[in-house]
Structure 1
Amino acid sequence: MNPLLSAEQAVLGSVLLDPGQLAHLDWLAPDHFYRPVHQALFAALRKHRTDGHPAVATKEPVPLSWVTDAVDEASRHVRGLTAVYAHTLISACPRPEHAPVYGRMVLEGAIQRSVTEHAIRLHQTARADALQGEVEETLHCADVLAGVFGDLARRWGSEPRPVAPATPPSTAPIAPPPVRADQVAEDEQFLLAVLVERPKAMDEVVGWLRPGDFADPAHGQLYRCLGALHHRGEPIDRITVLWEAQRRGLLADGTLTTEQLTAICDGVSPGSAEWLGEQVMRSSVTRTAATSARAIRSLAENEALAPGRLINHALHALGPLDDVRTRWHTANGRPTPTPTAPAPSPDRPPTARVHAALARSTPRPVSPPSARLGSAPTPAVARPPSRGHS
């Protein structure tokens, strides 16, 4: 049996049995349900409550019209819903007073689906931008994703903050799309050749370009050698670069070969290190975004991960993209935009309802010793009996 499907059925069954449970589910929206028929039925039940259906106000047994009217209203928006299925939902609800807990389960499933959908969208956008050599849509999509995380965290009742998972999700490095791979490799080789030929050009890129921005790890290691020579104030030419690569063991472990170094150092022609560095950064932005999206999707597919931890781990997975974005704006001479918190939505649940959504167990007040000796503890809240259908 699917736990999420059971939770959706139990929520609807509890409301069909006891319309008063809707007062404890104001934080739950129809689109939080996975099945369209459940979305339509929950929307119909909320509409009848807003319209003042007689079943909501009465303290008598719930009339059958509460069920039939909800089915009729929902059937206007979805096919396949019958009164028989409504009674199946009623039988699927163990206890109507547990509706907030069932609703929390439905919200948890909605959070996982939302994170997955937005991660897929970021990945697709990054790959599309990589083909076109652009980054703006990718960065916009990342901003939307970060805003979604903040909104989901507030709905769940937690504080959004990046937290590294104990075991990082396993994702393979993202390579540039085949159509662009040759161009990216050519830009990287051209940039390294310019930096070897004109060492002073290192000042144009060293402040924002990092070895990890290179798609080819060998090119990144060679740039690291150039950066080390530049940092120590030593001369840069093909002999000193070859020596630095040997000292770092790059020739011994096969990361670089003398033929690669010779090809890069001899392939010199006039070029702008700053412009070429920006091309490398463009590829780095989209590649990092795609990697972050895959990591977030992997986290969302872990059903054992609680929503609060999922959101915090997903925010941590966006961290590398934030770093690359900051350096991208530095390379373009633009100030890094300050992330703004999403504006409060008019239907955002109040704090009290967020606690209801969490449906945490509330500790019972501790009775003084004298009271505990003479009598058994009484429940903190007495639940009203369930109402049946007439």
Structure 2
Amino acid sequence: MNPLLEAEQAVLGAVLLDPGQLSHLEWLAPDHFYRPVHQALFAALRDLRDDGHPAVKGEGRVPLSWVTDAVAEAGLHVRGLTASYAHLLVSACPRPAHAPVYGRMVLEGAIHRTVTQHAIRLHQEARANALRGKVEGALHYADVLAGVLADLARRWGTEPRPVAPAVRPAVIPYAVPPAQADQVAEDEAFLLAVLVERPGAMGEVVGWLRPGDFADPVHGQLYRCLGALHHRGEPLDRLTLLWEAQRRGLLADGTLTQDRFAVICDGVGVGDAEWLGRQVMRSSLTRIAAVSARAVRALAEDEALAPGQLINHALHALGPLDEVRTRWHTAHGRPGSGTPSSTPAPSVPPTARVQAALTRSTPRAAPSSPDRLSPGPPTASARPPSRNHG
């Protein structure tokens, strides 16, 4: 039993029995049918209607020429169509007046099928871009998929808007292609070494590079530690990074080992942090594009998902790719690091933040005995409350 096939047969049977039903199916296109013979026959019926076939204008019983002419016209574009099959379609239609409902069933199947096809194309292009070190193809097909979703929403009669599914589809985690895995890991480790060794390097990338852009979770955690130190205005070096990693439990739970830390931080730290950051983000963009494509495909293959829900959930699945695309453009729109400027460099933390960090790093004086505490209000030089940087 195949409801989609039966719906396609019912639509065609209804139009063969009642040509006037075509006026209720203007939103249905030939390519919405799955079988090529059904596509050709529906296109032929529409062409005959547009050419003013007598069956469309006539009253009373539909002439047999409506069926024979449609079969002959469709037979010019597809093989295997006979008059007997057309009569089978007629018998497969329960009620010709229900043609719009049958057409909606056909469109629903076409929406699932079309979204699946474009998600597969996006996934293929993302993997190809990862191997070639490019992102343009993945971004282009992401735009194509978004445009297709908007068009399908219009045909279905719903407003396209991103909506998170109640239950996220199970998606196989994306793995970096083996041919690129070593290079990606090397770029990430090299960037971390540069950020540790070169003062001010963190300011070149912190505005657009995120921990999630790192393929290696350990590298992402270390970058998060560097970002926390930078945000608090504290100095960045090998020891402060190790201290921050220890505070976040990376040493206690085995996430970061001594050997792994030494390999990253004892390497050569001379390089262009901005260029390396773009390399990391390029890998991240193609990786997220592939993950988004898999999520959209998983949604489209769920036959129980209504078309409106599928479209909105698919738009939501493309959200992370839109976010990283925005940061990708930001990374390429930054002025060169060597551009002279009379204003302080953006990599320098505000003075107040530096003072707060130094205050937190200063040992506290031993508390006085209770009987010597002053009941008056605290002086202006009292230590300000620490902000939560968790």
Interval containing the TM-score (normalised by the shorter chain): 0.7 to 0.9
Stretches of structure 1 that go unaligned for 5 or more consecutive residues are: 336-390
* Aligned twin of 1:387: none
1:334 CA displacement? 6.9
* Aligned twin of 1:232: 232
Helix, strand or coil for the counterpart of 1:60?
coil
* Aligned twin of 1:163: 163
TM-score of the aligned structures, taking structure 1 as reference length: 0.84
Contact kept in structure 1, 2:126 and 2:287, CA below 8 Å: yes
* Separation in 2, partners of 1:230, 1:312: 38
* Separation in 1, partners of 2:113, 2:255: 41
1:123-162 to 2 correspondences below 5 Å: 123-162=123-162
* Separation in 2, partners of 1:175, 1:275: 23
Structure 1 counterpart of 2:191, which letter?
L
Distance change >3 Å, CA 120–CA 302, structure 1 → 2: same
* Aligned twin of 1:267: 267
Contact kept in structure 1, 2:21 and 2:99, CA below 8 Å: yes
* Aligned twin of 2:89: 89
Return structure 1 stretches of 4+ with deviation > 3 angstroms: none
* Aligned twin of 1:192: 192
* Aligned twin of 2:325: 325
Alpha-carbon RMSD: 1.1
* Separation in 1, partners of 2:94, 2:259: 73
Contact kept in structure 2, 1:299 and 1:310, CA below 8 Å: yes
Contact kept in structure 1, 2:194 and 2:269, CA below 8 Å: yes
1:254 CA displacement? 2.0
* Separation in 1, partners of 2:157, 2:239: 60
Structure 1 counterpart of 2:323, which letter?
D
1:217-366 to 2 correspondences below 5 Å: 217-333=217-333
* Separation in 2, partners of 1:21, 1:136: 44
* Separation in 1, partners of 2:307, 2:269: 54
Distance change >3 Å, CA 125–CA 307, structure 1 → 2: same
* Separation in 2, partners of 1:282, 1:102: 46
1:252 CA displacement? 2.0
Contact kept in structure 1, 2:198 and 2:269, CA below 8 Å: no
* Aligned twin of 1:72: 72
* Aligned twin of 2:17: 17
Residue-by-residue CA offset, 1:172-212 (whole Å, 9 max, x unaligned): 32122111111000000000001111141000000000000
* Aligned twin of 2:215: 215
Structure 2 counterpart of 1:41, which letter?
L
Residue-by-residue CA offset, 1:248-302 (whole Å, 9 max, x unaligned): 1112222211111111111024101000000000000000000000000000000
Helix, strand or coil for the counterpart of 1:122?
helix
Q: Which moved more, 1:94-103 or 1:71-80?
A: 71-80
* Aligned twin of 1:360: none
Helix, strand or coil for the counterpart of 2:201?
helix
Helix, strand or coil for the counterpart of 2:200?
helix
Structure 1 counterpart of 2:141, which letter?
C
- Alignment identity in percent? 80
* Separation in 2, partners of 1:31, 1:334: 45
Helix, strand or coil for the counterpart of 2:137?
helix
Structure 2 counterpart of 1:193, which letter?
A
Contact kept in structure 1, 2:195 and 2:269, CA below 8 Å: no
Residue-by-residue CA offset, 1:306-346 (whole Å, 9 max, x unaligned): 111100000000000011001101110179xxxxxxxxxxx
Q: Which moved more, 1:88-97 or 1:64-73?
A: 64-73
1:246 CA displacement? 1.4
* Separation in 1, partners of 2:175, 2:272: 25
* Aligned twin of 1:355: none
